[in-house]
Amino acid sequence: MKDYYEILGISKNASQDEVKKAFHRLAHKHHPNKGGDESKFKEINEAYQTLSNQEKRKQYDMFGNADGAGNFNWAWGKEGTQNIEFDMEDLNDMFGDVFGFGSRASRKKDLKRGKDIRVDIEVSLEEVLKDINKNISLRMNVRCSRCEGKGAEPGTALNECFSCRGTGEVQKVKRTFLGSFTQWSICPECDGEGQRPQKPCNVCKGEGQVKGEEDISINIPAGVDSHQMIKMVGRGEAGKKGGQSGDLYVRILVKEHELFKRRGDDLITSRLITFSQSVLGDKIKLVDLEGSEFLQKIPARTESGKIIKINGKGIPHFSGYGRGDLYIELKIETPKHLTKEQKMLLKELQKQGL
């Protein structure tokens, strides 16, 4: 790589003003229109383009005057990468082999791996009470059954890949701002296998996967809550040409219930009682989330808004035994319609000061 400072005849500590002055002086001297050397002029221009731009200059300074990846001044760890314009993909491509970023084998594996799939599943609050199974059907790429995902027509041989001559890798020269690099990458013809089927599978055309429908049974444990994710390893999209399948992520969404609100593993509901029940106490019939009726005693002199707690009638704990509790808020109902007799009795009560 060229030394831009040397080309402009300035020191490494030169100010932006000095960079500019040096360029003007040299550009004047070597301008092709004035009989100067065109390649020299281009070189000066290139040096100026880099050193007059603060970002580019910083990058250039960080990398030093390297001749290639082998002599590279490796400074990422110390300098941080936030101002560097290369993304990791480029870095892996450029230096993967020199610096051991991500082995070729693992990149090869990733290329063939099927996609991960995410689905949302709605369950009712009642369904959360027990372990359940939900069956869903997903349209996605599934393993080709004719070739068992391998991509070769059954009974045909595998030949050496013509593109990479069986090595599974192809060489490319990549030119960058930092110089030219020889880049090895996975052979796109054989996906790094080094072999290609003599005859690709008739059904999947050699891909090893076909569009299809997959029936999946999802086990949803009791006590699950909204936004919990169930990971099903290997149940995502089929891999290409014998590659690993992706994973399936099932996100749970618990539907709102008409009567019961969930707070953690506790349930909250409300119940109307009459004025006489609140004053004298009573036994009232209640229904839990399972739908079973039970009797609950209300003490005398219960005020409106009083909350009674019933142990163990909430949601089962997701991890472990036991359940949350049920809280019932009692509200005194003001009657809207009264019979003649009720009205008469209430008037009696009024006379008594109630």
Q: Is the dihedral of CA 79, 81, 85, 87 positive or negative?
A: positive
CB 202 → Zn ion: shortest distance, Å?
Answer: 7
Task: Report, in Å, the least distance between residue 158 CB and Zn ion.
Answer: 12
DSSP 56-108: HHHHHHHH-S-SSGGG----HHHH-STT----HHHHHHHHHHHH--S-HHHHH
Q: How many CA atoms lie within 13 A of 270 on its CB side?
A: 8
- What's the distance, Cα to Cα, between the start and end of the chain in Å? 100
Q: Mark out the alpha helices in the chain (DSSP H runs).
A: 4-8, 16-30, 38-51, 54-63, 76-79, 88-99, 104-112, 275-280, 340-351
Between 144 and 315, CB nearer to Zn ion: 144
**Of residues 252, 229, 223, the one with CA closest to residue 134:** 252
Smaller CB separation from Zn ion, 47 or 204: 204
Nearer to Zn ion, 52 or 163 (CB): 163
Query: Residues in the site for Zn ion, rule: CB under 5 A?
Result: 144, 146-147, 161, 163-164, 187, 189-190, 201, 203-204
The CB-of-147 to Zn ion minimum distance in angstroms stands at 3
Instruction: Identify which of residues 7 and 190 has a Cβ nearer to Zn ion in the complex.
Output: 190
Distance from C-alpha of 47 to C-alpha of 76, rounded to nearest angstrom: 23
The SS3 of residue 141 is strand
Query: Shortest distance, CB of residue 92 to Zn ion, whole angstroms?
Result: 20
Q: How far is the CB of 248 from Zn ion (least distance, A)?
A: 22
Minimum distance, C-beta of residue 160 to Zn ion, in the bound complex (Å): 8
* Residue 81 or 202 having the CB closest to Zn ion: 202
- Are 144 and 200 spatial neighbours (Cβ–Cβ below 8 Å)? no
Which is nearer to Zn ion, 190 or 248 (by Cβ)? Answer: 190
d(CA 214, CA 135): 10
φ, ψ of residue 14 to 5 degrees: the values are -55, 140
**Which of these, 158, 164, 163, lies nearest to 195 by C-alpha position?**
158
Q: How far is the CB of 170 from Zn ion (least distance, A)?
A: 7
What's at 325, amino acid-wise?
A: D
User: Which string of b and e fits 147-161 if b means at least 16 CB within 10 Å?
Assistant: bebbbbbeeeeeeeb
Looking at beta carbons only, is 192 or 236 nearer to Zn ion?
A: 192
Report, in Å, the least distance between residue 180 CB and Zn ion: 24
Q: Residue 34 or residue 205: which is nearer to Zn ion going by CB? A: 205
By CB atoms closer than 10 A (0-12, 13-18, 19+), residue 343 is exposed
